[in-house]
Structure 1
């Protein structure tokens, strides 16, 4: 969608077709209509959830600028409270110091000294997995299992591959201005409750995005349509007047079609499958794309508060407090007593604490439960102006992995925030529990979730950030991007973040001659320049840069 937007700015130069096997645009940025408070369902306090992508760091400048400045939607502010472990022996949080934090006080101080060392020698540590790094610097094993691994898993340990995540990633979560999520504290590891952004209703965001692209006149969509195969540079393609010959499968019955160039804005596995079905990948593509490891996870969206209480610390408990009487700690304890609203929760499996299950409290995370309109408070558009959206609904959502069946929902006629709205009781909160890595499903406690309290189950194919990714894929993407009239876009090409997905799309389009839409915004352009250098071994065109080295 980012690449499509860049192309749409030059309709006289580009004729673009966006093909997606799904029925909706936006990839994992999807919305789902909650069941109403009938037929035994409680009053959840909102009509919908964003069920895939939840939000972003405030430093995701390209994403937020696209949403807010271009499309007119506003993200809401939220404090990222986290709850790791359960009970005195394993619990800790960024909201108040726990007994576990005091137990590892020496390791925490050492960790603060190690982070700058990793930054200084980042190319080396990019190839060192987190578990190996912890052994190198002689951290206690329990510190890694109880504090470091769950912290990495929070954002980067998809597929329960946390031990194998590159050490450079955790350094960047603390020190990189484009990825930073946490502030280090030598007293408690995490210094504060980070300020995050919760997205407005993503079905509407991407629905309007699609409408804008189609209105430009040079971008068309083929949804519910898969690409079966691609032939590149073959005699047949050239006879038909192009470099790329695409054959489709799915609801669209049209025949093969030729193009000058192709951007694979999908996962690496799918790109390889499509190429294998056609004229075949190059040996470099086979090596680089084949090195990306994917794992299957399932999210269960539910309202089973009993399950959550059993496995997570859902309520503030002073018994978990560190044995401290300094003023700062007292303030933290008081704050937690009055404002405990964890939205990220992680449980470690006792047989292997490096393996985790994670949950969200979507009621605490997403602004609509507190009266935020679907377009965001003070948005530039009203719900009246936004197009109807497609959300997964009812029983169909439970069989989403097999058969998507979205419904078009009616629109409210205003975008006025109800600032006096009260959050529903915790028994009526909407929770989402993620069970990681299907191959290790014997550890899952999924069957403990009450069947009558499940709202939605959904499978996800998730990339792993293991160290091999930063040895065999990321540094070599420039060698295949632009070759054979082919480019690759997606967060998998660097780090699994919405912002990277956006910038990768802008970069792919830019490499084909499109405009970068935010070239005058230094905050946006910083990551774009870095990605262009890493992914294409290129820099911005002379008319777009402010200096020789920009």
Structure 2
């Protein structure tokens, strides 16, 4: 008798809820193994990408990326995906302007504020190192409390630390409540930080970042070239996990389909709204993810920007601090100033205008901010247009009485958008992030998205690949040491598991 042949294993049917960065990354990774997975993605919006979205402005003449903008060179998973599907990011020299008047400072020139606060800036570096050494303790302590305990000034806290962290990690007006351990990593972690800490000015470099190409094209291309079924404009209405295994999903049109596994690649609020039978632990943990409503205006109101922000901060102060002193030097001071002016003009032509602007409210609300971007300075599809298109973000609708959106000329508004953003408070890192591992895989249900850790596009992509890895799809970027290290860290924190070794089965090439 011949040797009995093993029965082929049936394909595992997987539903991915949400075609944002996390959901699409998960679906793509699973689709590399078409003999093992049959993947379907349900997306509520008419196009994939989620918050990584694009829109047209000025009667369709120009396209902009209107939420996600770009990233750091350490965003290895995003860069690898772009490369894999034929896209090229655009290098950007990141120039930021904080505050106005005597409260202004930048990452590219000296200012009165940084000179005055230099002793506190130096002391802050020592505090960060102590927080890093005692991270298991400080993960439960808000950064504002630490800075108050150690008697840091209001100007240092509200004009420097909080606006900086809010800008780069999307923490918004909740920044004072962010875990001190997270703030330490922002400045010291070699794989997370965006700037090198400077004991004289806090920041003193213009780092090279990258801007994404048109994001709608990126995610649409990934979906089109991958072996999974994308169902746009198909919101999930309810999902029931069956006692014998598997799930039943129903869309808003009442159409029902069955799957073996479900991956939630959407926000925690959607999970709680659509899941009919969550466990006690799922319900308890998912409710610990808190959301706030923000508002974004895309406009070309240069007068509003000039009123609200210092559009070219630091130049005058920089020249004053560099101006020669003494009787002998006064003879050529004017010549020196003219030379500096020419050098400054050349520098502006080389590096361009400031990209990011942050303003802090006054009085009792000095812990809250607004921020604006000049999209034309770094989005590659706008740089040749010879115009300035701005985006201004107004944070937390509960504080709408503070917003300055009414000062924007309505005739110069190009687009508007309401958004839900999760809060990076210390409770997020104490009562959600360390515990999400215990609900991963519960009743064939998996969770991915930036809310599983921190609000970055890189974490979103990593989280989707991690969910796919748990389902059996080998990690695709093991050849990139930095990417693999970041992935392994995420797996340890959010899944409590190590990465599996690759299987012998070859993945389908794209």
The TM-score range, normalised by the shorter chain, is 0.7 to 0.9
CA-to-aligned-CA distance 1:386-407 (integer Å, 9 cap, x gap): xxxxxxxxxxxxxxxxxxxxxx
Q: 2:354 aligns with which of 342, 346, 355?
A: 342
Q: How far apart are residue 212 of structure 1 and its match?
A: 1.0
Partner residue, 1:62? 77
Deviations 1:44-65 (A, max 9, x none): xx72111111001110001110
Structure 2 runs not aligned, ≥5 long: 1-23, 325-336, 505-510
Q: Is 1:230 equivalent to 2:234 in the alignment?
A: no
- Say whether residues 1:21 and 2:44 are aligned partners: yes
- 1:261 paired with 2:264, answer no
Q: Name the SS for the 1:143 alignment partner.
A: helix
C-alpha contact (below 8 Å) 2:474/2:502 kept by paired residues: no
Aligned-pair CA distance for 1:473: 0.2
**1:176 and 2:179 are equivalent in the alignment:** no
SS in 2 for 1:26: coil
Counterpart in the other structure of 1:85: 99
Task: Determine the C-alpha separation between the residues in 1 that align with 2:319 and 2:161.
Answer: 19
**Following superposition of structure 1 onto structure 2, how do residues 85-124 of structure 1 map, counting pairs within 5 Å?**
85-87=99-101, 89-124=102-137
| Deviations, residues 459-489 of structure 1 (Å, cap 9, x unaligned) | 1111111000010000001100011111100
Task: Look up the match of 2:508.
Answer: none
TM, length-normalised to structure 1? 0.81
C-alpha separation between the residues in 2 aligned to 1:286 and 1:487? 14
Structure 1 residues 181-260: aligned runs within 5 Å: 181-213=194-226, 216=227, 219-234=228-243, 238=244, 243-250=246-253, 255-260=255-260
SS at match of 1:116: helix
- Compute the displacement of 1:448 (Å): 0.6
Q: Is the 8 A contact 1:85 1:347 kept in 2?
A: yes
SS, match of residue 161 in structure 1: helix
Which of 307, 319, 334 is the equivalent residue of 1:310?
Answer: 307
Deviation at 1:334, TM superposition (A): 7.6
Indicate the SS of the match to 1:314. coil
Alignment of 1:261-280 (within 5 A): 261-275=261-275, 278=276, 280=277
Q: Distance in 1 between matches of 2:503 and 2:162?
A: 41
Residue in 2 aligned with 1:406? none
Q: Which residue of 2 aligns with 1:446?
A: 405
Q: Report what 1:4 is aligned to.
A: 27
5 Å matches for 1:476-495? 476-495=435-454
Partner of 2:12: none
Residue 158 of structure 1 deviates from its aligned partner by: 3.5
What is the distance in 2 between the residues matched to 1:326 and 1:5?
57
1:125 positional shift: 1.6
SS at match of 1:324: helix
Go from structure 1 to structure 2 and tell me whether the alpha carbon gap of 1:291 and 1:230 turns closer, same or farther (over 3 Å shift): same
Please identify the structure whose Cα radius of gyration is greater.
2
Q: SS at 1:154's partner residue?
A: helix
Aligned to 1:286: 283
Cα displacement (A) at 1:326? 8.6
The secondary structure found in structure 2 opposite 1:246 is strand
**TM-fit CA distance, 1:365:** 2.0
Deviation at 1:440, TM superposition (A): 0.4
Q: Distance in 2 between matches of 1:221 and 1:28?
A: 17
* CA shift for structure 1 position 172: 1.7
Q: Which residue is equivalent to 2:163?
A: 150
Aligned residues of 1:134 and 1:144 also touching (Cα < 8 A): yes
* Residue matched to 1:399: none
Question: Normalized against structure 2, the TM-score is what?
Answer: 0.87
Question: Are the counterparts in 2 of residues 158 and 436 from structure 1 also a CA contact under 8 Å?
Answer: no
Distance, in Å, in 1 between the alignment partners of 2:404 and 2:238 is 40
Residue 208 of structure 1 and its aligned partner are, at CA, apart by 0.6
Secondary structure, counterpart of 1:475 in structure 2:
coil
- After the TM superposition, which of the residue ranges 116-125 and 489-498 deviates more from structure 2? 116-125
Of residues 294, 301, 304, the one that matches 1:297 is 294
1:521-543 residue CA offsets vs partner (Å, 9 max, x unmatched) = 21211111111111111112244
Does the CA-based 8 Å contact 1:158-1:295 persist in structure 2?
no
Residues 335 and 21 of structure 1, relative CA distance in 2, 3 Å threshold? farther
Q: Is the 8 A contact 2:105 2:314 kept in 1?
A: no
Give the distance between the partners of 1:21 and 1:481, measured in 2 at CA. 23
How far the C-alpha of 1:318 sits from its partner, in A, is: 3.9
Q: Secondary structure at the match of 2:368?
A: strand
Task: State the alpha-carbon separation in 2 of the partners of residues 63 and 309 from structure 1.
Answer: 34
What's the CA shift for 1:308? 0.1
Note closer, same or farther for the CA distance 1:149–1:544 as it changes in structure 2 (3 Å cut): farther
Per the TM alignment, residue 138 of structure 1 is displaced from its structure 2 partner at its CA by 2.2
**What is the aligned length?**
463
